[in-house]
Amino acid sequence: MIGKKQLSKIGIGTWGYGGLDKADPNNDDEKQIEAIVYSLNKGLNFVEICNWYAEGKAVELFKKALDSWEKRIDDIFLSISLYQHRNPTLSDVQNEFEYLQKMFGVTCFDNVVVTFSGLKVWGQRETFNYLDLLLKNNNTRYVSITNSNLEMIKIFKNTFGDRMFGHELTYSFEIRENGDAGIIDYCNKNNIKNVVWQPLRRNKTALRNWELLVELAKKYSKTQNQIILGWLVAKGFLPLVKSEDPRHIDENINSVSFKLETSDIKKLNNFRPPNWKTPKIDWNKTGDGVSVSQLPTIFDEEYGKQI
């Protein structure tokens, strides 16, 4: 098993393999399997999987890629996310966990992630007891939470201490709300890895051609996406990327082959979309407002209404 210090600076996200929330019957399975193997061969060793993605097909495709890979599962850091969407009870969660254990032929995963929404469904105390049992039984090395508010991250950290690996969140060139809420700083100060999904907003950010990104891309002879990923890595984030094209995979990997100047990192840090007004965020999952996890999806429509 690999340690935290051996992790690649960019990880593989599997949302989009096999479909989205539903399996795509017209999906090009072989192309995606080849892309995953290519990414692994290029040294990307952090992988996040979830049995909810594409109704389980994303996990199946990743397993096929792993079977055809020349190395072993111990050569990657495998993080599994347990969602509440198809698991209304913790018994269902355990059934899914055992299914993944059997599929990958392991007793212990590197990291188990639960959602903040899941805690609301399964119960905070009950979920914490479940995660603690997984840790005590050596079924996982670490535990994490995703899309949480700052209060719950603090509780999670106080409960699991050094056994807490990270917090999966949305953070990108336009979406900074998790940072404004103090979540990024707290995690950085408490050895909690900020694992970022949709760091490029599925290429939507580059399509907007923000002046600063265009300027820096020209200065460093890089793409806008490389500037974004290079900036996130420089800030200590672990961005998750998904691509089916070897050229784009190489582009993502090469985003950590150069170093941004401190002054340019500062410019990127200080950027905010002009006139952007954050909609009311439902930090406590009460239904009052927009979930912070929705921001990457609704940003373009909301921003279009504001400018």
Angle at 147 between CA 228 and CA 231, to 5 degrees: 15
Position 113 scores a pLDDT of 98
Hey, is 23 helix, strand or coil?
strand
Position 120 scores a pLDDT of 94
Hey, is 141 helix, strand or coil?
strand
Residue 289: burial class (beta carbons within 10 Å; 0-12, 13-18, 19+)? middle
Q: Which runs of E-coded beta strand occur in the chain?
A: 11-13, 46-50, 77-82, 109-115, 140-146, 164-170, 193-197, 238-241
Position 300 scores a pLDDT of 96
Position 193 scores a pLDDT of 98
Position 140 scores a pLDDT of 98
Distance CA 117, CA 205 (A): 27
Name the residue with tokens 């994303």: 58
Give the pLDDT of the chain (307 residues) as one tens digit per residue: 898 999 999 999 999 999 999 999 999 999 999 999 999 999 999 999 999 999 999 999 999 999 999 889 999 999 999 999 999 999 999 999 999 999 999 999 999 999 999 999 999 999 999 999 999 999 999 999 999 999 999 999 999 999 999 999 999 999 999 999 999 999 999 999 999 999 999 999 999 999 999 999 999 999 999 999 999 999 999 999 999 999 999 999 999 999 999 999 999 999 999 999 999 999 999 999 999 999 999 999 999 998 7
Q: What's the N-to-C CA distance of the chain in angstroms?
A: 50
Distance CA 46, CA 2 (A): 10
As a three-state string, the secondary structure of 73-85 is: HHHCEEEEEECCC
Name the residue with tokens 């100047």: 261
Distance CA 233, CA 199 (A): 11
Q: And the tokens for 236? A: 């200590």
The answer to whether the CB of 172 falls within 8 A of the CB of 205 is yes
Q: Which residue type, as a one-letter code, is found at position 160?
A: F
Instruction: Spell out a b/e string for 190-210, using b for 16 or more CB atoms within 10 Å of the CB, else e.
Output: eebbbbbbbbbbeeebbebeb
Name the residue with tokens 């599929």: 103
Residues in the chain, how many?
307
Stated as kind and residue range, the H or E segment containing 183 is helix 183-189
Stated as kind and residue range, the H or E segment containing 93 is helix 90-104
State residue 102 phi and psi, 5-degree precision: -65, -40
Position 279 scores a pLDDT of 94
CATH topology of domain 4-306: TIM Barrel (3.20.20)
Q: And the tokens for 192? A: 């909690």
Angle at 301 between CA 239 and CA 210, to 5 degrees: 55
Position 307 scores a pLDDT of 77
The answer to whether the CB of 35 falls within 8 A of the CB of 246 is yes
State residue 82 phi and psi, 5-degree precision: -105, 110
